[in-house]
Structure 1
Amino acid sequence: MIQYSGDSYSQTGFSITGTKPSVSNPIGNPAFPGYTTTSNGNNWITYLLHPSSASTLLNYNLASGGATTDASLNLSPLPSNSLTASNTLIGIWIGVNDVGNAWSNANWPTLSQKIIDQYFTQVQELYASGVRNFLFLTVPPIQKTPAAMAQPNFTQSTEGAAVGDYNKLLVKAVDYFKAKNEGVTTWVYDTGDAFNTAIASPKTYGAKDASCYNGDGTSCLWFNGYHPGQAIHKLVAAGVAALVGL
């Protein structure tokens, strides 16, 4: 079983009070592939439900569009008989809105550390509840989104530096969390690999260039000015699957 927390890059519109995931319906609700606000189709989570894993992976996706770290790591209780240390993976892709909304703040170095501290306060609560397997996804290169590319070079480079600094703090926090908690298994997936692969060769992925966007989710790399389309989501899913062994 996999439980996800995050923002619009991950959400599928799941409601904890609706139909629960099952072997025949791995995302529960809404109907597959769910309400994916960033791709007009599959996102990285639903791409992970390939035929070889769909019979075993049940997905409780608590990601919510616009979420930031303080509000996003939803700890809603899962069915009491479903959560065990061995059969549950927590996947967290958060920080896009934290960095995107605040990178230009004069106190960003201090603020980013506070965000990470809050992040891992909540991760520690998950550990206390019995979870032992954690997947962390880094903030992607949002300075390369069409919206950011329309800004001056200085803005792009400064935002890119903020992304890099945040991700370094994330990796450091993961290492510390693992060192102080017995029995923890962690993975960190660098989402920049998927994004940069597509951006470096857009025509390979059906796009005319690296900056166009289209709400069909497939004819450009980007669904809109800030969210990736299906090709990038598929690359993220492939990278996660290879890293974790899904």
Structure 2
Amino acid sequence: MALTSTWLATFLLPFFVCADVPVYGQCGGTGSMCPGNIIGRRGYLDLSCICDDIELDNAIDHDISTGVQYLITFGDSYSQTGFDINSTKPTADNPLGNPSLPGWTASGGLNWVGFLVSQFNDSTLLSYNFAYGGATTDSNIVAPYESSVLSFVDQVTEFSESVASHPSYAPWTAADTLVGVWIGVNDVGNIYYLSNVTDIMNAVMVRYFEQLQIIYDAGARNFFLLSVPPINETPAMLAYADDVRDQEATVIAEYNDLLASGLANFTSTNSGVTAKLIDTSIAFQTAIDDPTAYGAPNATCYDSDGTTCLWYNNYHPGIAINKLVAEEVATSWNGSFF
């Protein structure tokens, strides 16, 4: 798809957004039902109140043999697997590192990252997934549901302090590494009803592409960005009036247009970049339009098993939609990484 829109954001506007009463609980912060609002490592919120105390394996420093490829990802609970860079590193037999497959996800099982490294990969694909539940792009622009959440900016800082240096445990190169970013669900969801939403999104986009620039400067050249999906069609949002949902849909479209124009600008100003924009609405609508084909009785139910319904809970997609998202990514990189 040709990306020819003009890049609109040219400077960072000093906005800070935190609604006192958000219209919905954030992705990864959907309102804990566990005592003490228990959040696991990497921002995983146990929505079913099975708040197990899980200790990760000790960190292992090891060399990786040649011939492997790397998937480095950033995002929120739509992408999280619970990875801790200071614990067990990924291997061919354990591509997520820690926790092992399927990881700590908000899907009921494998999410799109897990599918990519375990079912769609043509060779060994090791995941370094910095995604954190509840994340926004920059907490200083759009506040997360709690201050401990690692934003996209924070995640890139983690990357810069670890994998960016091409350490012995992850000797990645430009040619063998794919970087994916799926952020924006919480940004859009927390600001779509504000009068200055466009100005805020412009500020968000500046920070978004500043982070991509940091990753590029570390040596990455292959990128894919995932659009904000139709979160206005989640069971949580279906509880609201049509005009509210239409308003959110309009902001989703505006955000995704800014993402497209930003990626076009990023690609044109940085040599050697190969970048794809993944339209996640395709995966979501495929399932929503024909839920029975994916084992669900309808498009609105949710179940924490991740398979009985399309939705894991009232805001997070289950396993089938995650697999469809993974298919979209894999198809876009067919012949190189998948």
CA contact (8 A) 1:26 1:54 kept: no
Q: Residue deviations 1:89-129, cap 9 Å, x none?
A: 11000000000111111100111111111100111111111
- Does residue 212 in structure 1 map to residue 317 in structure 2? no
- Does residue 72 in structure 1 map to residue 140 in structure 2? no
Identify the residue that residue 89 of structure 1 maps to in structure 2: 178
Quote the Cα distance in structure 1 between the aligned partners of 2:247 and 2:130: 31
Quote the Cα distance in structure 2 between the aligned partners of 1:103 and 1:225: 19
- Does residue 20 in structure 1 map to residue 89 in structure 2? yes
CA contact (8 A) 2:303 2:312 kept: yes
What's the offset of the Cα at 1:49? Answer: 2.6
What is the RMSD computed on CA atoms of the aligned residues? 1.2
Quote the Cα distance in structure 2 between the aligned partners of 1:50 and 1:214: 24
Quote the Cα distance in structure 2 between the aligned partners of 1:52 and 1:224: 25
% identity of equivalent residues? 47
Quote the Cα distance in structure 1 between the aligned partners of 2:211 and 2:119: 33
- Does residue 44 in structure 1 map to residue 149 in structure 2? no
Quote the Cα distance in structure 2 between the aligned partners of 1:117 and 1:52: 32
**Which structure 2 segments of 5+ residues have no match?**
1-69, 139-150
- Tell which deviates more after alignment, 221-230 or 80-89: 80-89
Q: 1:54 to 1:40 in 2, by over 3 A?
A: farther
CA contact (8 A) 2:117 2:126 kept: no
Q: Which amino acid aligns with 2:152?
A: S
Q: How many residues align?
A: 245
Q: Which amino acid aligns with 1:72?
A: F
Q: Which amino acid aligns with 1:90?
A: V
CA contact (8 A) 1:23 1:54 kept: no
Q: Which amino acid aligns with 2:282?
A: D
Quote the Cα distance in structure 2 between the aligned partners of 1:199 and 1:52: 23
Q: Which amino acid aligns with 2:309?
A: C
Q: 1:52 to 1:237 in 2, by over 3 A?
A: closer
Identify the residue that residue 280 of structure 2 maps to in structure 1: 191
Q: What pairs with 1:118-197 in structure 2 (closer than 5 Å)?
A: 118-197=207-286
What's the offset of the Cα at 1:48? Answer: 1.3
Bigger share in helix: 1
Identify the residue that residue 229 of structure 1 maps to in structure 2: 318
Which TM-score applies when normalising by structure 2?
Answer: 0.71
Q: 1:212 to 1:52 in 2, by over 3 A?
A: closer
- Does residue 57 in structure 1 map to residue 125 in structure 2? yes
Which TM-score applies when normalising by structure 1?
Answer: 0.97
Larger radius of gyration, structure 1 or 2? 2
Identify the residue that residue 104 of structure 2 maps to in structure 1: 35
- Tell which deviates more after alignment, 90-99 or 48-57: 48-57
Quote the Cα distance in structure 1 between the aligned partners of 2:73 and 2:320: 20
Q: Which amino acid aligns with 1:48?
A: L
Quote the Cα distance in structure 2 between the aligned partners of 1:237 and 1:55: 16
CA contact (8 A) 2:289 2:299 kept: yes
CA contact (8 A) 1:212 1:222 kept: yes
Q: What SS class does the counterpart of residue 49 from structure 1 fall into?
A: helix
Identify the residue that residue 109 of structure 1 maps to in structure 2: 198
Structure 1 segments of 4+ aligned residues over 2 angstroms from their partners: 49-55
Q: What SS class does the counterpart of residue 123 from structure 1 fall into?
A: helix
Q: Which amino acid aligns with 2:258?
A: L
Q: What SS class does the counterpart of residue 186 from structure 1 fall into?
A: strand
